[in-house]
Amino acid sequence: MITFFAAFLVSLLVALALTWIVRERALAWGWLDQTSSSRKVHVRPVPRLGGIGIVGGFFAPLCALFLVDSGVGVQFLAQTDLIVGLFVGGAVIAALGLYDDLKGAGAKLKFSVQFAVALSLYALGFRIEVLANPFGAELSLGLLSLPLTVVWVVGVINALNLIDGLDGLAGGVAFFGVGTHFLLALMRGDVLLCLLMAALAGAILGFLVFNFNPASIFMGDTGSMFLGFVLAAVSIKTSSKSGTAVALLVPVMALGLPIMDTLLAMVRRSLLGRPMFSADKEHIHHRLMSRLLLTHRTTVLVLYALCSLFMVTALGLHFANSVQSALLLSGVGVVIVVLMRKLGYLDMRHAGSVQQTRQRNQQLRTLVKAVTGAVRAAGSLQDVWNAVRPLAQGLDAAQQELRLRRPQEQDTEGVVFEARRPEAGTSSPLEVSVEVKDGEVLLGTLRLCWRDGRSTIDRDEELALEVVADAVAERTVQLVALEAAEPERIIALRR
């Protein structure tokens, strides 16, 4: 226990120090998470990259095992595949998250790296080879071991990433998962799992000191993806054959909230025809705030309570017989159904409009794809405007305006493009503006006005405008760079 406490204390202190340093540097260098996107819940810019503190805090006591002669250290150093998997895989996932926080990474890059890391883990021996069956014998997976292991690793990484929407939420959810693993490992005498979970718990708590509402720093993808990776990898590798059922059953229950939220998001977006990797404000924490009118902090505490229920259930399943397991799962199922009804996920009154919404979203996706493609091919700011103009007709807007200026012209109005559609209505106007930004630099605004009597636009149209604005910003920066290039370095290409 002394070794576990020492690992916890070292990781806690390192995470505290690193998170504070990163927060101060982020404030000084402008590495802030802005509030310009409608997806954001916070109302002021907040430093990001706090995940660096979690990563450093977790690895600090493990690196110390290379230098300190101890019984636990001997066991740890003997596990070469565990060391390589955690250190190399963790470093790759953390680097991916860091790149995404600083530069932005697309879904293709993220999933390519995540699948590569998951396949590498499988090659190192991180494998799910049987499935838990609370009501009978375990099920051997055979050839399905590889795909299920990969899906588990990638799924948990992204589940933690998706749940990171409120101050302290992702860290708290991960802490409950860590606590479940630690208690079960302690009862089984699994020293290495206890050590790893103690180190991760200290790193999480050190970060939460700065991240609990109101947060002064966010973990970013660096932290959320790293937490998901460690929980996914450790839950597989450190379970003995007799506890292999725990390798999936306990994480599924202990991480029940992010897994449930991820599955709901996938079903919701599939039914409504939305891009699978698009952001929305229909996650469980969003609905708790909007439908039950809970405050930011109260919402997080309610979700902590839900996580504790999943944690107790996971611990209970470890010791329960078939009848007791059935009762536990049934009880949790009832709680989930009641929660889903309260949050409106099971409201069948709007089922008839689902197909209509799906068709509308498919048309909207086609429009956005065509507009962004034309924007990226534009050869001038005038061409950018011509590419954007179909938005007005596609969204049935009465007026559309695009204001653009070069980054060095922040004190000027820049160039203004405007188009009107008198046939689109004469009711009271509804105006929506989206900032066109390159990182923290404001390049202009995209504004649409409706006069068809609506009082708001739906979430899908709002997201579509943000995607178009991002494409306009990207192309504007490229065109400005071309203008600044020396004439002799520009070569005309002819067919």
- Taking the C-alpha atoms of residue 93 and residue 89, their distance in angstroms, rounded to an integer, is 6
- Taking the C-alpha atoms of residue 307 and residue 258, their distance in angstroms, rounded to an integer, is 10
161 is annotated as contributing to ligand binding: yes
**244-254 vs 296-319: helix axis angle to the nearest 10?**
160
Tokens standing for 27?
């404030």
Whole-number Cα distances in Å, 19 to 47, 420, 450: 10, 50, 45
Please list the alpha-helical segments (H only) found in 90-243. 90-102, 107-123, 145-163, 169-188, 191-211, 220-237
Q: Are 248 and 228 in contact (CB under 8 A)?
A: no
Cα–Cα nearest to 446, from 471, 412, 483: 471
Cα–Cα nearest to 430, from 446, 403, 448: 448
Contacts of 353 (CB under 8 A, 6+ apart): none
Q: Is the Cα dihedral 118, 123, 125, 130 positive or negative?
A: positive
- Taking the C-alpha atoms of residue 385 and residue 274, their distance in angstroms, rounded to an integer, is 26
Q: Is the Cα dihedral 66, 69, 74, 75 positive or negative?
A: negative
Burial class (CB in 10 A: 0-12, 13-18, 19+), 321: exposed
- Taking the C-alpha atoms of residue 223 and residue 230, their distance in angstroms, rounded to an integer, is 11
List, in sequence order, every beta strand (DSSP E) within 337-410.
399-404
Cis-peptide into 214, omega within 30 deg: yes
458 is annotated as contributing to ligand binding: no
- Taking the C-alpha atoms of residue 418 and residue 403, their distance in angstroms, rounded to an integer, is 9
Whole-number Cα distances in Å, 78 to 65, 72, 116: 11, 10, 25
The number of angstroms, rounded, from the C-alpha of 210 to the middle of its chain's C-alpha atoms is: 19
Cα–Cα nearest to 233, from 58, 64, 105: 58
Rounded to 5, what percent of the chain is helix, strand, coil?
65, 10, 25
DSSP string, 389-448: THHHHHTT-SEEEEEE--TT-TTS--EEEEEE-GGG--SS-EEEEEEEEETTEEEEEEEE
DSSP string, 58-92: HHHHHHHTTTS--HHHHHHHH-HHHHHIIIIIHHH
DSSP string, 279-294: --S-SHHHHHHHHS--
Binding residues for Mg(2+): 161, 221
Binding residues: 161, 221
